[in-house]
Amino acid sequence: MIITDSKKLNEIKREFSEKFPYLKLEFYAKAHKEGEGSKDSQKIDGEHTIGSVRATHAEGDLSINGHLKVGTFERMFFEKYGLNAQVFRKSGTIWLQTISTDEWTLTEQNSRGEKSVTQNL
């Protein structure tokens, strides 16, 4: 995943969901406290470019693998690129913030999301 100031947040979100179809990524104006969720009122519209919503203007290739823990992935986004990211997991017909399961890997989260969707069919 290439991170540049000119790329839109929606592009990053789409690339993430292509790799993990039962997860989604959202970006927020402020970081959430540990153990708490991000506030919907602080969600950043995906049409914004990355450069317009961050103070750290580092660019680069963000390598994502399924063995990364969600909390590590979210921290990495902030530390490297100055973006407050939050992973959500599909649970039936709703999306849940992965607050209490940030120690799970992206693959574990995605698998749990897939199971919840197929069980509700």
**Residue 102 structure tokens:** 């940030």
pLDDT tens figures, 45-99: 999 999 999 877 788 888 889 999 999 999 998 998 889 999 999 999 999 999 8
Q: Is the pTM of this model over 0.85?
A: yes
Determine the Cα–Cα distance for residues 48 and 54; give it in Å rounded to an integer: 11
Q: Give the CA angle between residues 89, 53, 47 to the nearest 5°.
A: 65
Q: Where are the domains of the chain?
A: 2-119
Taken as a whole, the chain contains a residue count of: 121
Q: How many CB atoms lie within 10 A of CB 23?
A: 22
C-alpha 1/C-alpha 25 separation (Å) is 13
pLDDT tens-digit series, residues 11-37:
999 999 999 999 999 999 988 777 778
Question: How far apart are alpha carbons 116 and 34 in whole angstroms?
Answer: 25
Residue 79: other Cβ atoms inside 10 A = 11
Q: Which of 65, 80, 74 is nearest to 102 (CA)?
A: 74
